[in-house]
Structure 1
Amino acid sequence: MDFTPLHRALGLTPSPLTDELLDAAVAAGVTETDDLDWKSELPPIKNLSQTDVPKDIAAMANAGGGMIVYGVEEKQKVATRRKDTGDFTEVHERAYRSAAVSAISPPVFGLDIYRLGMDCRAVAVIIPASVDGPHLIYKNDYFGAPVRNDADTAWMRERQIEAMYRARFEERRRSSEAVDSLYGETAEGRDTDKRAWLIAVAHPRIPTVSVRPDRDEARSIFKRAETVTLSYANRNGVHPLENVNSLNPRPGLRRWIAVNAATGERELWREAWAEVHHDGSVTLAAAVGGHRKTSSGDFEGWEVEGRGVECCIADFAALIRAVAETQHLDEYEVRVGIEWTGTQPLQILTIDRMGLTYDGVSNPIRKFTPVRASINAAGSDEAFHRDVYRLAEDSVNQGGVTHLHIISEPASDEGD
């Protein structure tokens, strides 16, 4: 469900953004505000980044987010009537999104774009709230930070820019603390003296505060994650999402928990737990040491298969993607670690050309260094794939392993 400036102006509860809703806003003469801007025409595709589009988007982002509607005429800021914008093509949309990324620094991600109407067409663009302000735009050798001031766009003064930078750095500190706290909670109580555990946690930069998914929605998130995983990873390993009870998640403290389903004595080596929090956070804990080696033997607790690490990271990232799609989130702060408190050094094992486990390139690890990253969960499939690949690569590289075997290599990011 959406709750836009149009909903607020009309006194409506959250509901889908529709052409009828826009008609009602125009009929009511809704006035432009700091988070609502009427535009009668679409910007041109050619040299779109040189138009006012970057300034309009940056101004909204710097003011806490908002909405630009193309296809509405106004008089003294008051909506007067609809005006057909013509067809808003896929090429036009790509150019528009590209301007938000390439012509604004730092980029503004996560735009929601709606095509409304059939006979009298309109386009609504939702600019999300941002914690990365100030967003700057550049003109030749000059730059500025636009911001909405009631229904107009103004330019920030030096002190406003300074205050916004200070707020950005403070938010990053708080986000890092939230991730560390989540990591400690997720790692607590694991038998890390007997076998290594992979702990992965993610916290959205802007958490959800009003959404409390029910059991059916949580179940759908876990099911969606299983599909996302297989879009960039194969099944040649132990996937933790296959070892949790995702069909019947249990309630926890402001979260849903997919409890371990590998409970039998012969199955416990695959133990895994996954959580989806109401604020959009995601956690995964999976035993990665002491896995089954043959029908009659297991690896030691300190021996971790690299492909097992890949499977965990693939599933974990897929959960992030699934939650972000459901709750309309974008950037996440991520921490991935392997916890082992035994006396032997940790080893990450790879496979040889015959597909057999091989430890000849393993570096003994006395303490695994947690991998931290920022992931844009609302980006393109290709960009998200690259983020997942790099996260897994950083994790296995610590053990001397170069190549990934579960997560496919993404396409080059040249030109993105």
Structure 2
Amino acid sequence: MAILRSRRLATVLGAPVDHLSAANIEAMVDNRIPEAFDLDFKGTLYGNSDKDRRDLCGDVASLANASGGLIVLGVEEDDHAVASSAPGVELSDDERNRMLQILASGIAPLPAVEIHSVPSTADPSRGWWLVAVPRSSGAPHAVIVNDGFRFPIRHGTTTRYLSEPEVAAEYRRRDMRSSNLAVRLAEVLKDALANVDRNHGAWVVVGLVPEHAGALEISQKRLDEMRQNYAGRELFDVGRAGAHFSWVRTGRGKYTVGDGPHARADSPLPHYGYAELHTDGTGSYAIELWDLADRLRQRDREGEEPVEDQIVPDEIIALALLNGLRRLGAHARDTTGAAGAANLLAQLVPSPGRTVQIGHTRRFGFAESRSGNGVSTSAIAETAAALDDIAEPGAALVATAARLLDELGNSFGIPEMGQLSLDGEIRVRYWQDAGPLVTWAEQHGVVTTDTAIAGT
């Protein structure tokens, strides 16, 4: 699914951007399609001189800073900026990679961009490159010129550069978008925690909002597919959760997934796991954390109110983040077609009226706290990552989960949690049973290590 979705372009060109064919492109000439604020024609490939490289970066950045749009390489225009011929250009993986490398080194920050080819039916080695650029929430994007920056913006069929006051205004708009994003993430987590049974244990929840929203319909067919994917599925793909989802339902603009109701439970709300999967790619994934001290409490103080701190397992927090990120990333990218960066927020909350600590049972199976202090409200962590990095298993997914994991631990006086490293490695000595993690790591090229955290 293309990151550039434009009803106007789909109407003008005869198909959505990600479905354009050789016939659609050749028809641009017959139909005398003109360039526009969101459509740019180039008769040849971008060259490799400094000027040519700047032109590529400027064309992409100008679209990202404006309304987004499509650059078609291999279509020539006449003096009136109307498509006049479609001779095509050479197609190769090397050329695509060259353009991506030029963009990565020449634009700051790099906007979302897709480059894909449309082969000619007469000669598949030739055809057209489509450079698709959505409007960017991270604007303004600068083109690096010598040691300075210039900020291009598409204006009609031409490009101009933003003035200093305009650049300042764009940065203020970016800050406002970031603030709105933080509010959205907080609301997503709040909604998730309002729909689970919090009376018996602490919960950890991770939320995701994509940079470029996706689109997913609410329909009976899609609901059936979601049920097939989630109903009966274990809460964790990596590691052991001991519980599974049992239902999928629809909500306003989202699908919800949970367990229960359980026969002996005093609440019909999910008791072990809950997810909200929004149609725009936003989502949340919540897991209950069992209380390691509960057995001792029941044995030693039968009948008394459980007033002691809850102690939750560090390993399950790590697994919840690892699995939650993976599933949310896959939903956003693969199911809804969202793209760009994933903005992430994690929260660990105790049961109402309780205080929670982080602990483990790696020493002889006895519950032991690692916390320098307890938390009675919530611990919060936030980061960002490319959707591609968390939608698939790998070191980048592990590193992203590690950032959230360590920041949650900081609220409890724990400098580093240990299970996952910021380099994307699995530290086996911080797992009671590392076997499933080691197997998973071997399958996906993730390094495992027995290295201890310095100073511990």
Q: Distance in 2 between matches of 1:373 and 1:49?
A: 35
Deviation at 1:15, TM superposition (A): 7.1
Q: Distance in 2 between matches of 1:190 and 1:322?
A: 23
Q: CA RMSD in A?
A: 3.7
Asked if the contact 1:237–1:307 (Cα under 8 Å) also holds between the matched residues in 2, the reply is no
Q: Deviations over 1:125-169 (max 9, x none)?
A: 111211111111121233210011111111112332222222111
Deviation at 1:55, TM superposition (A): 1.0
Q: Distance in 1 between matches of 2:316 and 2:401?
A: 15
Deviation at 1:73, TM superposition (A): 1.5
1:369 to 373, 379, 383: 379
Letter in 2 for 1:391: L
Asked if the contact 1:6–1:21 (Cα under 8 Å) also holds between the matched residues in 2, the reply is no
Q: Name the larger-Rg structure.
A: 2
1:402 to 412, 417, 423: 417
Residue number in structure 1 paired with 2:85: 81
1:312 to 320, 338, 342: 320
Q: Distance in 2 between matches of 1:259 and 1:107?
A: 38
Residue number in structure 1 paired with 2:150: 144
Q: Distance in 2 between matches of 1:312 and 1:402?
A: 14
Change (3 A) 1:220 1:346: same
Equivalent position SS for 1:96? helix
1:201 to 192, 207, 229: 207
Letter in 1 for 2:255: W
1:39 to 39, 42, 46: 42
Larger relative contact order (CA 8 Å, sep ≥ 6): 1
Comparing 211-220 and 120-129, the one that deviates more: 211-220
Q: Does 1:167 align with 2:173?
A: yes
How many residue pairs align between the two structures?
Answer: 397
Letter in 2 for 1:57: V
Q: Distance in 1 between matches of 2:95 and 2:32?
A: 29
Letter in 1 for 2:38: D
Q: Distance in 1 between matches of 2:370 and 2:104?
A: 40
Asked if the contact 2:70–2:131 (Cα under 8 Å) also holds between the matched residues in 1, the reply is yes
Equivalent position SS for 1:121? strand
Q: Deviations over 1:200-252 (max 9, x none)?
A: 222234444x64254554676788899xx99xx9733328xx6213xx62111
Residue number in structure 2 paired with 1:414: none
Asked if the contact 1:48–1:95 (Cα under 8 Å) also holds between the matched residues in 2, the reply is no
2:66 to 60, 63, 82: 63
Matches within 5 A, 1:181-220: 181-188=187-194, 190-208=196-214, 211-214=216-219, 216-217=221-222
Residue number in structure 2 paired with 1:123: 129
Residue number in structure 1 paired with 2:356: 346
Letter in 2 for 1:282: G
Letter in 1 for 2:150: G
Q: Distance in 1 between matches of 2:223 and 2:344?
A: 21
Deviation at 1:83, TM superposition (A): 2.2
Deviation at 1:35, TM superposition (A): 1.1
Identity of aligned residues (%): 19
Q: Distance in 1 between matches of 2:397 and 2:229?
A: 15
Q: Deviations over 1:60-108 (max 9, x none)?
A: 100121111111111122112222321321x433332233333212221
Deviation at 1:270, TM superposition (A): 6.3
Letter in 2 for 1:104: I
Equivalent position SS for 2:89? coil
Asked if the contact 1:61–1:133 (Cα under 8 Å) also holds between the matched residues in 2, the reply is yes
Asked if the contact 2:209–2:343 (Cα under 8 Å) also holds between the matched residues in 1, the reply is yes
Residue number in structure 2 paired with 1:327: 336
Q: Distance in 2 between matches of 1:96 and 1:358?
A: 55
Q: Deviations over 1:280-325 (max 9, x none)?
A: 210122211337999xx89998121112112211222123321232
Letter in 2 for 1:315: N
Q: Distance in 1 between matches of 2:189 and 2:101?
A: 35
Deviation at 1:405, TM superposition (A): 5.9
Q: Distance in 1 between matches of 2:60 and 2:38?
A: 11
Asked if the contact 1:48–1:99 (Cα under 8 Å) also holds between the matched residues in 2, the reply is no
Structure 1, gaps ≥5 residues long: 412-416
2:110 to 84, 107, 132: 107
Deviation at 1:387, TM superposition (A): 2.2
2:400 to 387, 393, 412: 387
Q: Distance in 1 between matches of 2:14 and 2:98?
A: 34
Could you tell me the TM-score, scaled by structure 1's length? 0.81
Letter in 2 for 1:132: G
Residue number in structure 2 paired with 1:275: 276
Q: Does 1:179 align with 2:185?
A: yes
Q: Distance in 2 between matches of 1:213 and 1:98?
A: 39
Residue number in structure 2 paired with 1:251: 250
Asked if the contact 2:274–2:286 (Cα under 8 Å) also holds between the matched residues in 1, the reply is yes
Letter in 2 for 1:108: P
Q: Distance in 1 between matches of 2:49 and 2:367?
A: 55
Q: Distance in 2 between matches of 1:147 and 1:125?
A: 16
Asked if the contact 1:107–1:135 (Cα under 8 Å) also holds between the matched residues in 2, the reply is yes
Matches within 5 A, 1:225-264: 235-238=238-241, 243-245=244-246, 249-261=248-260, 263=262
Could you tell me the TM-score, scaled by structure 2's length? 0.75
Letter in 2 for 1:146: P
